[in-house]
Amino acid sequence: MAERLGIGNKLKSKARICSYGEQQRIVIIRSLLQPFDFLLLDEPFSHLDNENAQKAMELMLEESKLRKACIIFADLERVDYFPFTKLYHL
């Protein structure tokens, strides 16, 4: 997962020397390593560029499909590459 998200070389680094985007990708990986039936995402791409956000989304979708799990995604803006089944505007 780390290699796919471009942070394989950061696995032994202290969090304080990683960029916010690298830290965010580590958080995403840590969440996917836990058992889950629901993956609750609150602005998961806040510090990621579009390319890294799409890679992370692909990884999360693959993992949720393997586990037959649901993703609940909250963001301030619509994310076009998130394949939603229901969309709520609050």
How would you classify the pairing of strands 70-74 and 38-42?
A: parallel
* Confidence tier at 81 by pLDDT (50, 70, 90): confident
| 1 vs 75, residue with greater confidence | 1
Q: List pLDDT tens digits, range 11-60.
A: 899 988 999 999 999 999 999 999 999 999 999 988 899 999 999 999 99
Q: How far is CA 34 from CA 38, 40, 62, 80, 89, in A?
A: 11, 12, 14, 26, 29
Q: Dump pLDDT digits (tens) for 5-15.
A: 999 999 899 98
User: Contact, 34 vs 64, CB < 8 A?
Assistant: no
Please report, as a single letter, which amino acid is at residue 43. E
Q: Is 24 exposed, middle or buried (0-12, 13-18, 19+ CB in 10 A)?
A: buried
Stated pTM of the model: 0.85
